[in-house]
Amino acid sequence: MLNPAQKIAQLNREAILSASPAKLLTMLYDRLMVDLHRAKSAQDSANWGAAAENLLHAQAIIAELSSSLDDSAWSGGAGLRSLYVFVTQLLIDANIQRNIQLTAQAIELLKPLQEAWHEAVASPGGPAVQHAGVNVG
């Protein structure tokens, strides 16, 4: 018999395994923003260990987003990759310098992307958007 934490973990695994590529993309962005907000909160309370953990996890998510990006699939691919590189450096600097403003800047840059991907996925008649060579929308 599974305890409640194990049940939640199992449900999360099942949700990930059954999600479409478009849904996975939005799930990654959602978790990325959770990590960034947790890091910012930890930085605000000088909990540097928790801040570092969340900033590192956010960097891992950005690395996954970047590695799945097919630059040739759509005209915005190269620009999005450049943004991922820039934000990764912001997060490295935010961690090393313990700089909450850099974390906030990363949130400001990524929040509109999170919202745009959610909007693209939710609009059945909207334009197709490409990420990782998969039609989203």
The neighbouring-strand residues paired with 45 are none
Q: Rounded CA gap, 121 and 26, in Å?
A: 8
pLDDT score of 75: 87
Q: DSSP letters of 18-33?
A: H--HHHHHHHHHHHHH
Residues in the chain: 137
The mean per-residue pLDDT over the stretch 49-67 comes to: 97
3 band by pLDDT with thresholds 50, 70 and 90: confident
Residues 47, 17: Cα–Cα separation, whole Å: 33
Residue 134: its pLDDT value, please? 46
pLDDT tens-digit series, residues 90-136: 999 999 999 999 999 999 999 999 999 999 888 876 445 445 444 44
User: Phi first, then psi: what are they for 76, rounded to 5°?
Assistant: -90, 0
The yes-or-no verdict on residue 51 having pLDDT over 90 is yes
Q: Report residue 82's pLDDT band, with 50, 70 and 90 as the boundaries.
A: very high
Residue 77 has pLDDT above 50, yes or no: yes
Whether the model clears a pTM of 0.85, i.e. scores above it, the answer is: no
Q: Which residues are bridge partners to 134 per DSSP?
A: 131
% of the chain at pLDDT higher than 70: 80
Q: What whole-number percentage of the chain has pLDDT above 90?
A: 61
Average pLDDT, the chain: 86
